[in-house]
Amino acid sequence: MMEYWKPHKFYPRDFASRKDEFMYRLHNGIHTTKGLQELLKAFPNHKYKNEIIEELRRRNANKV
């Protein structure tokens, strides 16, 4: 009966690191452009700031 109270994983962790997971989400469109802009406003010294800026440039280049 106690096994019901154990924490559950809602999805398997398929990534070797947090950066791998973030980069997967970044390049597969899971983060919206507006969301990335808000993220940079809220955290100007974000750990992956350069990757976010490159992705925003790539997305803007595709619109032109």
Q: What is the pLDDT of residues 18-55, one digit of tens each?
A: 788 888 888 888 888 999 999 999 999 999 999 999 99
pTM: 0.70
Task: Give me the pLDDT at residue 6, please.
Answer: 57
**Over residues 8-20, mean pLDDT:** 66
What gap in Å lies between CA 9 and CA 3, rounded to an integer?
14
- Say yes or no to pLDDT of 17 above 90: no
Exposure on the CB side of residue 62, measured as CA atoms within 13 A = 7
Task: Give me the pLDDT at residue 10, please.
Answer: 47
| Better-scored residue on pLDDT, 11 or 14 | 14
